[in-house]
Amino acid sequence: MPAQTTHTPAATQTAQLPQIHEPRNPGMPLDLDWVRALQANTSAIERRAASLPARRSVKKAHQAAWLLRAVTCIDLTTLSGDDTEARVLRLCAKARQPVARAVLDALGMGPITTGAVCVYHEMIPAAARALEGTGIPVAAVSTGFPAGLSPLHLRIAEIEESVKAGAAEIDIVISRRHVLSGDWHALYEEMQAFRAACGEAHVKAILATGELGSLRNVARASQICMMAGADFIKTSTGKESVNATLPVTLVMIRAIRDYYARTGFRVGYKPAGGISKAKDAITYLAMIKEELGDRWLRPDLFRFGASSLLTDIERQLEHHVTGHYSAGYRHAMG
């Protein structure tokens, strides 16, 4: 592959970063005064979110660096009814080497991996075997995903079975009805039960923000889940009609910032669904950097719930190196 760029110092800085062992969020007692005081100025939030893509544009080597960082924060995901073990094994191979070796060499990069591989419970053993020794965690969706309407004891049992099968991260879905009815005690207790069932596995709380009715509800649900011990808060299952958006992201990461200021514990953030373009990934990363700071630009505190995103990032990186765009089919996920 002819290379126009043989070494990119800015990109080199985005190599797989050494792991930092952040103390887990232990949660805190439910503080309803704090929760009920939370409001959301929708018009101001939307103006701030709309301004970011126009104001934050990075080019050439800096763009390559941001895109490589984005790759390390992707949860490669397959959540289809026709999933097979073969598909999961191909996805795991892609997670181990998400960008072509020739492109990484041209950028002066060492090996990188994605942040995790996310699958249904049935596919955990195959993914765990394929990723053994790589340090890439297996994430499993749980608790009656995506609706979260199965009996509570079954949702808790599902978490326990997924952890037993080898999942290091559990993506749970909250009961939206608790938010819509303002039953914050029920949401807090449910999230506490899910966190306890996860044990040492990290728990990502999926809020399904497109179904919560308002940005104020998003802010309050975010704080409740963090108070109950969530390690991450996540926008969506990817199955709703509205998934990750910049206004929702702004509300959720500001909730994370407030929680850190009050407790000293960092909680991660995961936008999921609808993020498929490299330029969108850079916009999300820029918002995280501005609102939360560089510490959140690592996979232990930030993830993209996406797979098609990786294809566009690969095409952009190859264009940076060769000056030509390759066909999308050359970067198939599996």
Catalytic residue numbers? 171, 234, 270
Nearest CA to 226 out of 191, 250, 194 is that of 191
Nearest CA to 331 out of 14, 68, 104, 98 is that of 98
Q: Where are the beta strands (DSSP E) in the chain?
A: 74-77, 116-119, 138-141, 169-173, 202-206, 232-234, 268-270, 304-305
DSSP state at residue 113: -
CB proximity list for 247: less than 8 A, separation 6 or greater: 42, 45, 46, 49, 215
- What is the rounded CA–CA span in Å between residue 5 and residue 60? 10
Alpha-carbon torsion angle 192, 193, 194, 196, nearest 10: 90
| Alpha carbon 276 to chain centroid, angstroms | 13
Nearest CA to 241 out of 266, 205, 212, 220 is that of 212
DSSP reduced 3-state for 169: strand
Strand pairing category for 169-173 and 202-206? parallel
